[in-house]
Amino acid sequence: MRFGWAEVPRGDEAAGYPPFVLLRPAIDHVDFLSNKLHWDAVISADSVETWHDNFHDFDINARMHWDEPEELAAGHVPVAGDWKLRYRYEPDILDLEQLEFETPTSRGSITGVLHPKNSALDVRLNVGSLDPWNDFIHAIAGTNPIAEAAVRIGGSLQWIGKITGPATGPEFQGHFRGEHMRMRMLRWIHWTAS
């Protein structure tokens, strides 16, 4: 690899990364709420990066494998999964060819395109217990984390659907089924919606 004025057309990487719990603070920001999931995993990845000049037309293709860690970080949930993705900087598009995950109480898959102005994602989500998802749900809803910390959301759900539109106001479409749902004083034994 040469630096300076020379073009650097491609990089191939096969890497073992630090546990996800250590990487999360580097990528956590208001529009990417990964820290609110409280996931922990050991990530290995193979990637190919291409660009020219000073990272113009940066493009990365990657396959990642997530394993449950031998030592789980306090207050976190182990997660395993396989991801295959492509990120293109210039159009700011993340193509998710495969994103599959599994925790002790949930599993899901996401495919499609994530874009700030026009996302189109297909989602399958099975959650046996919503308790570990509370912080993430409150963050997506934009609720006050201090005021809402006492409002626990419980139950289980299955959602098969799509997330479309801009990141600032996505639309959720699909089929939802919840059981033993609870929030504040409300409780549902069974709830289905399309």
Answer whether residue 1 is part of any domain. Answer: no
Cβ-proximal residues to 76 (8 Å cutoff; 6+ apart), any chain? 21, 38, 39, 40
> Residue 107, SS3?
strand
What are 61's strand-pairing partners? 48, 86
pLDDT tens figures, 113-168? 999 899 999 999 999 998 898 888 877 777 665 565 567 788 899 999 999 999 88
d(CA 89, CA 95): 11
In the numeric block, which tokens belong to residue 91? 């159009």
pLDDT tens figures, 19-77? 555 555 545 555 556 778 888 998 898 989 898 888 888 899 999 999 999 999 898 99
The answer to whether 112 and 120 have CB atoms below 8 angstroms apart is yes
End-to-end CA distance of the chain: 53
More confident residue, 9 or 55: 55
- pTM for this structure? 0.77
**Whole-Å CA distances, 22 to 47, 58, 74, 149, 152:** 20, 25, 12, 24, 27
Please tell me the predicted confidence (pLDDT) of residue 95: 94
Residue 133 lies in domain:
10-193
The answer to whether 147 and 159 have CB atoms below 8 angstroms apart is no
Number of domains in the chain: 1
More confident residue, 82 or 134: 82
- Measured in degrees and rounded to the nearest 5, phi and psi for residue 123 equal -130, 135
Specify the DSSP class assigned to residue 69: -
Answer whether residue 2 is part of any domain. Answer: no
Q: Count the Cβ atoms, other than its own, within 10 Å of residue 35.
A: 16
Please tell me the predicted confidence (pLDDT) of residue 127: 95
**Is 1's pLDDT higher than 90?**
no
